[in-house]
């Protein structure tokens, strides 16, 4: 991630938050370990606001909790594909961040994404990639391919972890068989399903927490997000990140304001 | 016939072969993981199983961690409330269902009181999630009291059991004597029954406290914005980077629970069965 | 005049008053329980007959889809309906692991309870205290402690490697074995305590009589002690089997997401599975299993009249 871009994001998001807060407190619902404590401190002192952070570890949990109502959150940070869902389900407040001051800091390539045309609702939070993590002490071969998880080599069979995020796994599988991630083509979907079912016996777990588990040897390869794998690599230098040549996804998490937030303020 | 000249150790009525060994293994099994956990909370290194020297850094970190403080306060707040309310309710229920002739509906009352013990926590958690979500979206009322009610409910059977046990052991004769001396029911209760029952009530309250403090599943499902308790915080941490900070928190919680259990045993010892 | 069925006048009044008083006393507890424990269960039952919302939640439209999906699986690609393999496997894993856990805790807990019950009175509470302490520690802590023992760089593997018994770590974590070890560890005190309660009341003069009749130790165990402590055995088994059937945290942490038990399957429906009615139906199924186990317990205690209520 570009450092310059990060600062821009921080300020943009900071101002974005400010637009939400009227009464001195802000409830942020975000991924675990995903909010810089420095950002929060800065925000709290700058705008005299108390920030509470609750965390979740999957888009579906976040969606379910928000949809169920009565959650008390003001801001949530779903992944790109789920932003669309939040918009469709009419859960987001149209705050028009594209008209806010700091929007000019948002890099041009992120200004008009397909899931939120013109950025009427959301602001980028963080972006990255999903790929293959391999402990190169265990497997010395080529790691830039998703066949590591879908058709594992001997050394890695039974030692593989998959990220438990539906959309990402399906996307990779579809790309692997040569199709597109968002297809409704039943033939392709069936192929992907069968591929996953066959590979499943070679996996050992489908869990979060790679940063702690992989350096400890609980498994030796995984389909996971780049940030966590990077941190795992800091703990054990033999852990490397591979970019599958069959195709991989770029993800982006975005902050948006919930409709419920406004309802609460107005009451 | 038994040989009277051979020296052999007196025949022990109570021992069974191999039982001692198994018991020893059992205790080792029970304590080894906990001791490891406690030992590593003093680890100077960053990881949980690579010992790098003695240090209190994780305790400092845990104490200074705002999220931990917040969660700890909330846990204690919930536990105290749940234990007080559930003990009051359980005492009343125990008085109404013990030392009395069976009346219609008694079995039903038992069933309801013990129901949280019998129903798997996940089912209750799911049920409460659904119910509270409905209520919250109709009325828009937020608050910690949803959690308080949930905790009180599942603490009731735990408070009920020791109170009832104590009550059953109490002879009605004292209360009858008081009645013979023209004491009103209320006076009898206040000056005879309650003092005698007190150890049972304390035991019930402490049980309720510990149970509420420990709860993970129901709290995890029912909590909403910012309502982390210590166990749910730890569950969240377990899914991410695990540092010995979690060992430190665990050790402190363990210490607190041990304290409470010690008190419980002490009281039981002092006031007899 | 007085007869068995009705008492006359003041006695009957007293009985009615007493009953009413008992109900009044129990009422507040019952109200809270109805609101936050029993009542919600009915809602779960209702939800199992609704349709799933697109992204979670329910749509208030009657449907038996959820119940159908508990048992059957309709392949969306070729439309064939088969037995819901995954669900059956999870159900079987839950019953199997719970039963094994119950058995193992019995094997370990019986001798332990016996030894504690036969200690001199003064030291007995100390031993009891030692057994209860792990129980009062948080479930998460206990599960986590086991995690540290059985993982690839955990106590057991490192120990075995140092002793030279194995070269590479044995994969114990993320297996059914891990879940079983975890549950045994977590529920062991629940088996020991009721067993101890039963054994404490054991009349050893019966044992002595048996020995006087030249019985062997083994025979004494099998034909005197075990039958006498049967209520304790049954109570302990119930106290272990039921919670382990609905276990959620332990399989989640030790099973790694691939080895699911019924509790995890239910939780999945309320999260990524987005199928609340199915989650509700599965919860009712779990409840039914528990009720069945309880019924067997009640039936067996009825054979042992003399258990005081």
How close does chain C come to A71, measured CA to CA in Å? 14
**Residue C26: partners with Cβ closer than 8 Å, 6 or more residues away:** B92, B93, B96, B97, B109, B113
| In the block, residue with structure tokens 């809602």 | C43
**Residue A184: partners with Cβ closer than 8 Å, 6 or more residues away:** none
d(CA B118, CA C38): 11
B65-106 pLDDT per residue, tens: 777 888 889 999 999 999 999 999 999 888 888 877 777 778
- Structure tokens belonging to residue B188: 């009898």
How close does chain C come to A7, measured CA to CA in Å? 33
Is it the case that residue C261 has pLDDT exceeding 80?
Answer: yes
Is it the case that residue B48 has pLDDT exceeding 70?
Answer: no
User: Is the CB of A208 less than 8 angstroms away from the CB of B241?
Assistant: no
User: Is the CB of C272 less than 8 angstroms away from the CB of A186?
Assistant: no
- Which among C296, C294, C295, C264 has a CA at the least distance from the CA of C282? C264
Mean pLDDT (chain C) is 84
Q: Apex CA C207: angle with CA C205 and CA C213, to 5°?
A: 105
Average pLDDT over residues B3-16: 68
Can you give the CATH number for the domain in which C244 is found?
1.10.3720.10
Q: What is the pLDDT of residue C2?
A: 42
Q: What is the pLDDT of residue B135?
A: 83
Residue C50 within any structural domain of the chain: no
Average pLDDT over residues C41-68: 86
C55 touches A: beta carbon within 8 Å: yes
Average pLDDT over residues B246-256: 83
How many domains, chain C?
Answer: 2
Q: What is the pLDDT of residue A9?
A: 55
Confidence of residue B180 (pLDDT cuts 50, 70, 90): confident
Task: Report, in this order, helix, strand and coil percent for chain A, each rounded to 5.
Answer: 45, 20, 35
d(CA B153, CA B148): 9
User: Is the CB of B226 less than 8 angstroms away from the CB of A52?
Assistant: yes
In degrees and rounded to multiples of 5, residue B171 shows phi and psi of -75, 135
DSSP C162-206: HTTS-SS----TTSHHHHHHHHHHHHHHHHHHHHHHHHHT--HHH
* Cα nearest neighbour of A192 on chain C: C77
User: Is the CB of C152 less than 8 angstroms away from the CB of A67?
Assistant: no
User: Is the CB of B241 less than 8 angstroms away from the CB of A68?
Assistant: no
* Cα nearest neighbour of C150 on chain A: A218
Q: What is the pLDDT of residue A4?
A: 46
d(CA A138, CA A176): 23
d(CA C142, CA C185): 8
Contact B127, C44 (CB under 8 A): yes
Confidence of residue A5 (pLDDT cuts 50, 70, 90): very low
Selected residue with higher pLDDT from B223 and C306: B223
Confidence of residue C268 (pLDDT cuts 50, 70, 90): confident
Beta bridge partners of A122: A256
**Residue C297: partners with Cβ closer than 8 Å, 6 or more residues away:** C234, C235, C238
Burial class (CB in 10 A: 0-12, 13-18, 19+), C182: buried
Beta bridge partners of A255: A123
* Cα nearest neighbour of C248 on chain B: B122
Selected residue with higher pLDDT from C15 and B73: B73
Could you tell me where the DSSP H helices lie in chain C? Answer: 9-33, 39-47, 65-71, 85-117, 121-136, 139-150, 155-162, 176-200, 204-212, 217-220, 226-228, 230-245, 249-255, 262-269, 276-303
* Percent of chain C topping pLDDT 70: 92
Contacts of A164 in chain C (CB under 8 A): 257, 272
Is it the case that residue A65 has pLDDT exceeding 50?
Answer: yes
Domain match, C20 and C92 both: no
Residue B166 CB neighbours (<10 A): 23
Read off the pTM: 0.83
Average pLDDT over residues B48-58: 68
- Which among C151, C100, C190, C261 has a CA at the least distance from the CA of B33? C151
d(CA B76, CA C31): 25
Asked whether the CA dihedral A41, A43, A49, A55 is positive or negative, the reply is negative
Q: What is the pLDDT of residue C306?
A: 46
In chain A, the domains with their CATH numbers are 3-127+252-266 (3.40.190.10), 129-250 (3.40.190.10)
Interface predicted TM-score (ipTM) of this complex, two decimals: 0.78
d(CA B8, CA B3): 10
Average pLDDT over residues A34-63: 80
* Cα nearest neighbour of B232 on chain C: C140
Contact B138, B68 (CB under 8 A): no
B158 touches C: beta carbon within 8 Å: no
d(CA B3, CA A120): 99
The helix (run of H) or strand (run of E) holding residue B261 is helix B245-271
Residue C138 within any structural domain of the chain: yes
Residue C218 CB neighbours (<10 A): 10
Angle between helical axes of B19-40 and C155-162 (0-180°, round to 10):
100
Average pLDDT over residues C152-169: 84
DSSP state of A144: S
Mean pLDDT (chain B) is 80
- Which among A254, A260, A266 has a CA at the least distance from the CA of A98? A254
With contact defined as 3+ CB pairs under 8 Å, the chains touching A are B, C
A26-41 pLDDT per residue, tens: 888 887 777 777 888 8
What residue spans in chain B does CATH classification 1.10.3720.10 cover?
A: 63-271
Specify the range with the lowest mean pLDDT, choosing from B5-9, B17-21, C131-135, C225-229.
Answer: B5-9
- Which among B153, B121, B130, B154 has a CA at the least distance from the CA of C287? B121
- Structure tokens belonging to residue B165: 């046990």
Average pLDDT over residues C158-164: 86
A161-186 pLDDT per residue, tens: 998 888 889 889 998 988 888 788 88
**Residue C303: partners with Cβ closer than 8 Å, 6 or more residues away:** none
Domain match, C21 and C137 both: no
Domain match, C4 and C120 both: no
Average pLDDT over residues C93-115: 93
Confidence of residue C216 (pLDDT cuts 50, 70, 90): confident
Contact B193, B179 (CB under 8 A): no
Confidence of residue A6 (pLDDT cuts 50, 70, 90): low
Half-sphere CA count of B34, side-chain side, radius 13 A: 24
B206 touches C: beta carbon within 8 Å: no
Mean pLDDT (chain A) is 81
In degrees and rounded to multiples of 5, residue C153 shows phi and psi of -110, 35
> How far out from the chain centre does Cα B249 lie?
18
- Which among C219, C179, C190, C177 has a CA at the least distance from the CA of C106? C190
Is it the case that residue C305 has pLDDT exceeding 80?
Answer: no
DSSP state of C36: I
3-state secondary structure of A256: strand
C134-155 pLDDT per residue, tens: 877 788 888 888 888 888 888 8
- Structure tokens belonging to residue C257: 């997401």
Is it the case that residue A17 has pLDDT exceeding 90?
Answer: no
Residues 203 to 262 of C: which have CB under 8 A from any A CB?
A: 255-258
- Structure tokens belonging to residue A264: 């609460």
Confidence of residue B237 (pLDDT cuts 50, 70, 90): confident
Is it the case that residue C55 has pLDDT exceeding 80?
Answer: no
d(CA C251, CA C268): 13
d(CA B24, CA B99): 41
d(CA A89, CA A82): 10
Q: What is the pLDDT of residue A48?
A: 82
The helix (run of H) or strand (run of E) holding residue A40 is helix A37-47
Its CATH class, for the domain covering B63-271, is mainly alpha
d(CA B209, CA B75): 10
The strand pair at A122-135 and A239-242 is best described as antiparallel
Q: Apex CA C297: angle with CA C296 and CA C299, to 5°?
A: 65
Using left for φ > 0, alpha for ψ between -120 and 50, and beta otherwise, residue A254 falls in beta
- Structure tokens belonging to residue A120: 């009427």
The helix (run of H) or strand (run of E) holding residue B198 is helix B194-214
Average pLDDT over residues C261-269: 90
| Nearest CB neighbour to C32, from listed B130, B156, B210 | B156
User: Is the CB of A209 less than 8 angstroms away from the CB of B236?
Assistant: no
Residue C5 within any structural domain of the chain: yes
Selected residue with higher pLDDT from C297 and C103: C103
The helix (run of H) or strand (run of E) holding residue A213 is helix A210-213
The strand pair at A160-162 and C50-52 is best described as unpaired
DSSP state of B10: P
B107-165 pLDDT per residue, tens: 788 888 888 887 888 888 888 888 887 787 777 677 788 889 999 998 999 888 888 88
What is the 3-state secondary structure of B14-60?
Answer: CCCCCHHHHHHHHHHHHHHHHHHHHHHCCECCCCCCCCCCECCHHHH
The strand pair at C81-83 and C72-74 is best described as antiparallel
Contact B163, B91 (CB under 8 A): yes
Residue C43 within any structural domain of the chain: no
Is it the case that residue B273 has pLDDT exceeding 50?
Answer: no
* Cα nearest neighbour of B146 on chain C: C36
d(CA C207, CA C217): 10
Is it the case that residue C95 has pLDDT exceeding 70?
Answer: yes
State the residue range of the domain holding C33. Answer: 1-38
């Amino acid at each position: 991630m570009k450092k310059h871009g990060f600062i821009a994001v921080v300020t943009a998001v900071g101002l974005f938050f400010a637009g939400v807060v009227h009464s001195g407190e802000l409830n942020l619902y975000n991924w675990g370990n995903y909010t810089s404590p420095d950002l929060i401190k800065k925000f709290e002192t700058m705008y005299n606001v108390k920030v509470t952070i609750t965390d979740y570890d999957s888009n579906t949990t976040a969606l379910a909790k928000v949809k169920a109502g009565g959650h008390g959150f003001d801001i949530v940070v779903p992944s790109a594909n789920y932003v669309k869902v939040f918009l469709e389900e009419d859960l987001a407040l149209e705050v028009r961040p594209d008209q806010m001051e700091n929007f000019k800091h948002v890099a041009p390539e992120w200004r008009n994404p397909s899931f939120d045309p013109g950025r009427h609702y959301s602001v980028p939070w963080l972006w990255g990639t999903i790929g293959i993590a391999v402990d190169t002490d265990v497997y010395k071969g080529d790691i830039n391919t998703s066949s590591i998880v879908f058709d594992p080599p001997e050394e890695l069979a039974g030692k593989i972890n998959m990220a438990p995020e539906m959309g990402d796994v399906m996307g990779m599988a579809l790309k692997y068989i040569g199709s597109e991630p968002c297809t409704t083509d039943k033939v392709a979907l069936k192929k992907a399903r069968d591929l996953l079912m066959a590979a499943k016996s070679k996996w050992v777990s489908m869990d979060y927490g790679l940063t702690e588990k992989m350096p400890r040897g609980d498994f030796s390869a995984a389909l996971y997000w780049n940030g966590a794998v990077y941190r795992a690599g800091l703990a054990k230098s033999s852990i490397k990140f591979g970019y599958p040549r069959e195709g991989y996804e770029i993800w982006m998490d975005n902050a948006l304001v919930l409709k419920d937030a406004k309802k609460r303020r107005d009451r | 016939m038994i040989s009277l000249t051979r020296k052999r150790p007196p025949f022990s009525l109570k021992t069974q072969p191999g039982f001692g060994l198994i018991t020893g293994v059992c205790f080792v099994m029970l304590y080894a993981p906990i001791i490891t956990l406690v030992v590593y909370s003093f680890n100077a290194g960053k990881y949980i199983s690579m010992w790098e020297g003695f240090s209190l850094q994780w305790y400092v970190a845990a104490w200074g961690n705002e999220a931990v403080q917040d969660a700890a306060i909330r846990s204690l707040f919930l536990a105290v409330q749940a234990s007080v309310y559930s003990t009051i309710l359980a005492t009343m229920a125990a008085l109404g269902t013990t030392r009395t002739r069976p009346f219609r509906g008694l079995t039903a009352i038992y069933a309801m009181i013990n129901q949280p013990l019998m129903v798997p926590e996940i089912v209750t958690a799911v049920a409460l999630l659904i119910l509270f979500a409905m209520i919250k979206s109709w009325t828009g009322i937020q608050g910690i009291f949803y959690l308080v009610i949930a905790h009180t409910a599942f603490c009731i059977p735990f408070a009920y059991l020791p109170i009832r046990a104590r009550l059953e052991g109490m002879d009605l004769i004292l209360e009858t004597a008081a009645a013979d001396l023209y004491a009103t029911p209320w006076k009898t209760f206040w000056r005879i029954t309650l003092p005698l029952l007190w150890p049972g009530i304390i035991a019930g309250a402490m049980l309720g406290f510990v149970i509420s403090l420990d709860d993970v599943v129901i709290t995890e499902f029912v909590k909403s914005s910012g309502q982390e308790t210590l166990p749910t915080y730890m569950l969240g941490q377990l899914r991410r980077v695990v540092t010995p900070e979690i060992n430190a928190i665990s050790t402190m919680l363990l210490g607190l629970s041990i304290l409470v259990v010690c008190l419980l045993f002490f009281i039981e010892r002092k006031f007899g069965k | 005049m007085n007869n068995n069925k009705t008492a006359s006048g003041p006695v009957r009044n007293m009985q009615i008053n007493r009953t009413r008083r008992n109900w009044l006393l129990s009422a507040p507890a019952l109200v809270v329980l109805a609101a936050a424990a029993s009542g919600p269960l009915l809602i779960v039952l209702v939800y199992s007959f609704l349709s799933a919302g697109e992204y979670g939640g329910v749509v208030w439209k009657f449907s038996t889809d959820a119940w159908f999906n508990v048992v059957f699986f309709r392949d969306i690609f070729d439309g064939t309906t088969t037995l819901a393999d995954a669900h059956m496997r999870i159900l079987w894993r839950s019953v199997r692991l719970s039963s094994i856990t119950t058995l193992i805790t019995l094997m370990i807990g019986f001798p332990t309870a016996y030894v504690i019950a036969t200690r001199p009175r003064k030291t007995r509470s100390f031993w009891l205290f030692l057994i209860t302490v792990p129980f009062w520690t948080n479930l998460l802590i206990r599960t986590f402690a086991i995690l540290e023992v059985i993982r690839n760089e955990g106590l057991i593997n490192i120990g075995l490697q140092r002793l030279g018994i194995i070269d590479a770590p044995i994969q114990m974590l993320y297996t059914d074995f891990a879940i079983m070890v975890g549950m045994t560890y977590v529920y062991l005190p629940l088996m020991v305590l009721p067993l101890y309660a039963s054994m404490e009341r054991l009349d050893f003069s019966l044992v002595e009589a048996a020995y006087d009749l030249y019985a062997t130790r083994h025979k004494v165990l099998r034909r005197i002690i075990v039958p006498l402590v049967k209520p304790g055995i049954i109570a302990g088994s119930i106290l272990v089997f039921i919670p382990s059937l609905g276990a959620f945290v332990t399989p989640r942490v030790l099973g790694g997401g691939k080895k699911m038990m019924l509790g995890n399957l239910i939780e999945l429906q309320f999260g990524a599975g987005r199928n609340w009615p199915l989650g509700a139906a599965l919860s009712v199924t779990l409840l039914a299993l528990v009720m069945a186990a309880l019924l067997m317990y009640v039936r067996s205690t009825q054979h042992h009249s003399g258990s005081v209520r």
